[in-house]
Structure 1
Amino acid sequence: MIRRGVLATVLAVVLLLGWFVSGWFSAGPLAKDTPFTVPDGSSLSSVAAKLEKDGAISSASFFKARARVFGVGASIKAGEFLLPKGASPSQILSIIQGDEVLRRFVTVPEGMPSVMVYDRLMANQQLTGSIDVPAEGSILPDTYEIERGESRQAVLLRMQAAMQRALGELWAAREQGLVVKTPEEALTLASIVEKETGKPSERTIVAGLYSNRLRQGIMLQADPTIIYPITKGKPLGRRIRQSEIQAVNDYNTYSMLGLPKGPITNPGKASIAAVLHPAQTDALYMVADGTGGHQFASTLEQHNVNVEKWYTIRKERGDF
């Protein structure tokens, strides 16, 4: 009986191993040749999920597991690829790790500071030449098509021209009576809005709040303006120190009235539009609400209540 049990176990292992191997090389579910785009900066997990969603593979989890065992270790390339009808998982991985790209892209996410745009362009091996770190706020976040062998300077100039066009169009359609008086001021305020909220639904109210503070001569007190002189927009990776809150420089809105001397990141169109069409609100204060958004208040008393709620949430989370 023991011998039969061992044989059954061995047979089950062999069958499972055979299934695992054959699943890597067997034809996949694609019914026709299909273009597939790998966004810039994608991970194996995100690509696997996208492949499953697009019907190119049956299971993202099995694709990842097999890729880690059978893959050659090469990096996934950004761009648009053509996946042939019935392509196996093995074939798909080989394609998206290869050079048979239909179209290549580089993506600048909303709120990516210029020093990180520089890093991304310099790390892209499809591009040539060198660039300087571009001026903060001069680049429009978007996905840009690039050509193999194209110069980094040419790509950067396209990104900057796109920002100039977008800013010009949005400024021309602005509301009247804004607290920002020039496109440059709008861009600077938009960069703060971009860094202060990740919720699209909050952009206009955050813009309205900061517009109110500017109009009433109240310090903006935006945390990202403390961080920018320290990291040039990269994540701080720790809590802000009291000495940094008190630092006097051209960006720290805890120690100065008005706007910083320039943008603190590259804001997207939505944040620029929010500044040029702010919500009509009496809000002057904001604090995180624990869900990724904020609680807004028009009085210091209500704000202090909201702050206490936020501290309670943080204590429950074990932050301190």
Structure 2
Amino acid sequence: MWRSIASNGISLLIVLTLLLGGAIIYGKREYRAEGPLSEAICVRVAPGETMRGVSADLQEQGAVKSGALMRVGAEYTEKADDLKAGAFLVPARSSMADIVGLVTRGGASTCGTEIVYRVGVRSSDVLVRELDPATSRFIERAKFVPGEGDAPQAYTDVKAQSDTRFRVAMAEGVTSWQVVQVLKAADVLSGDVATVPAEGSLAPDSYEVLKGDSRESVLERMAAQQSLRLQAAWESRADDLPFDTPEEALIMASIIEKETGVPDERGMVASVFENRLRRGMRLQTDPTVIYGITKGEGILDRGLRRSELDRATPYNTYQIDGMPPTPIANPGRASIEAAVNPEVSDYVYFVADGSGGHAFAETLEQHNANVAKWRQIEQNGANQ
């Protein structure tokens, strides 16, 4: 009798062991299997939230089949206590294992709301936007110019959210003074700016910042980035440049940046100016004259006067030989690379061609013909 009971007990134990093993295998497979999401969603994890709450929310949204199984999987992989606050983009068909990895990995939020402090050449603003996870496109919530009236309520609300990201976006060709003005208006940053950084020393780019970051630390990041870009470009420079130092290359790059907004033209514009330097011709470029007037503080919203073109200043390249003493803006990577590796040409003139680009010429006769065409285009536009 006891032998029969023992035999039955062993059989039951074997069956239970097999069932448990099967359940574990099934659970592991389901934990790593493709999920039910048909399109991406944004998952927000509040500070102090638990894996139980997050998994229940995900089950309710149809992102996982079983919140309980997700919790078990997170505990089995020892990630249940590693939740990070933030907003995370969960792609379609993500497995439970994928989602647990996203919400426990940490780092910057990958979706949700974002405030961008934008430094532009002609104007600067603050943009409040939110990522639409289904399309991976941003939806504008608010946009305003700092200092012009009260900030919209959307800005105040979004700024207070724990998962909001903050960014400073610096356009190519802006001046250091313009950057500092925007940083001063960014009320999520701290501290003062002792001095405006040297012109040209800041790298145009998009910089993620955190609440409480100092303004000086952001400027230091921008300067370090520009230094690296300039160093890399200078090390791969062409052999026959008409200048001798990286600092002079930066001046040339800033002129190129201000002379053309057409990316494909940068190398040819660089060729014109560097051919002029080789031939001992003056650069004769309006942006340098304008910088001599504004000192980079704001824009000159009018044409240059004859008296300004005739006045001898360190930045008036109609009156001085060679380049101005400093850059006239903060050039981007492409303009720096064009300055040290220009196109090869015999062009020494260029003028607008009416398409947004320029017509280039090797001789004054060709240039005058191009100028006449441009003046005709201007006249036709004025008559319309």
1:103 aligns with 2:165: yes
Structure 2 residue matching 1:128: 3-state secondary structure: coil
CA separation of 1:273 and 1:55: change in aligned 2, threshold 3 A: closer
Larger displacement relative to structure 2 (44-53 or 100-109): 44-53
Larger displacement relative to structure 2 (264-273 or 162-171): 162-171
1:225 aligns with 2:288: yes
Instruction: State how far apart, in whole Å, the 1-side matches of 2:333 and 2:267 are.
Output: 12
Instruction: State how far apart, in whole Å, the 2-side matches of 1:148 and 1:45 are.
Output: 16
Instruction: State how far apart, in whole Å, the 2-side matches of 1:319 and 1:258 are.
Output: 39
Larger displacement relative to structure 2 (191-200 or 96-105): 96-105
Contact 2:117 2:126 in 1 (8 A): no
Instruction: Find 1:155's aligned residue among 211, 218, 223.
Output: 218
Instruction: State how far apart, in whole Å, the 2-side matches of 1:310 and 1:51 are.
Output: 47
Residue in 2 that maps onto 1:301: 365
Larger displacement relative to structure 2 (32-41 or 184-193): 32-41
Contact 1:30 1:56 in 2 (8 A): no
Instruction: State how far apart, in whole Å, the 2-side matches of 1:49 and 1:289 are.
Output: 39
Residue in 2 that maps onto 1:193: 256
Residue in 2 that maps onto 1:273: 337
Structure 2 residue matching 1:318: 3-state secondary structure: helix
Output aligned runs, 1:5-154, within 5 Å: 31-33=40-42, 34=89, 35-36=111-112, 37-41=114-118, 47=129, 54=136, 73-74=152-153, 76=155, 96=158, 98-131=160-193, 132-154=195-217
Identity %: 43
Instruction: State how far apart, in whole Å, the 1-side matches of 2:128 and 2:364 are.
Output: 43
Instruction: State how far apart, in whole Å, the 2-side matches of 1:40 and 1:49 are.
Output: 17
C-alpha displacement at 1:125, in angstroms?
Answer: 0.5
CA separation of 1:44 and 1:168: change in aligned 2, threshold 3 A: closer
Structure possessing the higher radius of gyration over alpha carbons: 2
Instruction: State how far apart, in whole Å, the 1-side matches of 2:138 and 2:198 are.
Output: 41
Cα deviation code 1:196-234 (max 9, x no counterpart)? 000100000000110000000000001000100111233
Instruction: Find 1:254's aligned residue among 318, 334, 337.
Output: 318
Instruction: State how far apart, in whole Å, the 1-side matches of 2:330 and 2:231 are.
Output: 15
C-alpha displacement at 1:134, in angstroms?
Answer: 1.3
Cα deviation code 1:127-186 (max 9, x no counterpart)? 111112111011111111211111111111111111111111111111111112100000
Contact 1:30 1:55 in 2 (8 A): no
C-alpha displacement at 1:105, in angstroms?
Answer: 1.2
Larger displacement relative to structure 2 (260-269 or 99-108): 99-108
Structure 2 residue matching 1:40: 3-state secondary structure: strand
CA separation of 1:144 and 1:216: change in aligned 2, threshold 3 A: same
Instruction: State how far apart, in whole Å, the 2-side matches of 1:298 and 1:180 are.
Output: 22
- Aligned AA (2:170): V
TM-score, scaled to structure 1: 0.75
Higher relative contact order (CA 8 A, sep 6+): 1
Instruction: Find 1:237's aligned residue among 301, 321, 325.
Output: 301
Structure richer in strand, relative to its length:
2
Structure 2 residue matching 1:306: 3-state secondary structure: helix
RMSD, aligned CA: 2.8
Moved over 6 A (4+): 42-46, 48-52
Contact 2:238 2:341 in 1 (8 A): yes
Contact 1:113 1:232 in 2 (8 A): no
C-alpha displacement at 1:53, in angstroms?
Answer: 5.7
Instruction: State how far apart, in whole Å, the 2-side matches of 1:244 and 1:50 are.
Output: 50
CA separation of 1:54 and 1:117: change in aligned 2, threshold 3 A: same
